[in-house]
């Protein structure tokens, strides 16, 4: 639940245009997902981090995060996630 809360806060900040602060919360979400073995949480965090970095114009980093997103989506059999990552 804690990881999802960080993800939600990151999404709210992203929607408010505070992309740097959003990254902070999405990174926390990612850390918690990794610690707990929550692949879906990791998948969501990678997606959101990729979006935040892309919006900030840090495209190499955005691509790295979206590639991780794609990898986990494939691992989970998440076809919608795969499509979104591409």
Q: Does domain 2-85 have CATH number 1.25.40.10?
A: yes
Dihedral sign, Cα of residue 34, residue 37, residue 42, residue 44? negative
State pTM to two decimals: 0.90
**Mean pLDDT of successive 10-residue stretches along the chain, which has 86 residues:** 85 92 94 94 95 95 97 96 92
pLDDT of amino acid 54: 95
Q: Domain ranges in the chain?
A: 2-85
Q: What is the pLDDT of residue 48?
A: 94
Q: Is 3 helix (H, G, I), strand (E, B) or coil?
A: helix
Residue 62 pLDDT: 96
């Amino acid at each position: 639940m804690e990881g999802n809360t960080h993800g939600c806060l990151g999404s709210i900040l992203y929607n408010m245009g505070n992309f740097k602060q959003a990254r902070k919360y999405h990174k926390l979400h990612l850390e918690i997902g990794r610690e707990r073995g929550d692949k879906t949480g990791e998948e969501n965090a990678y997606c959101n981090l990729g979006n935040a970095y892309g919006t900030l114009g840090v495209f190499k980093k955005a691509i790295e995060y979206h590639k991780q997103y794609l990898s986990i989506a494939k691992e989970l059999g998440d076809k919608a996630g795969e499509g979104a990552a591409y």
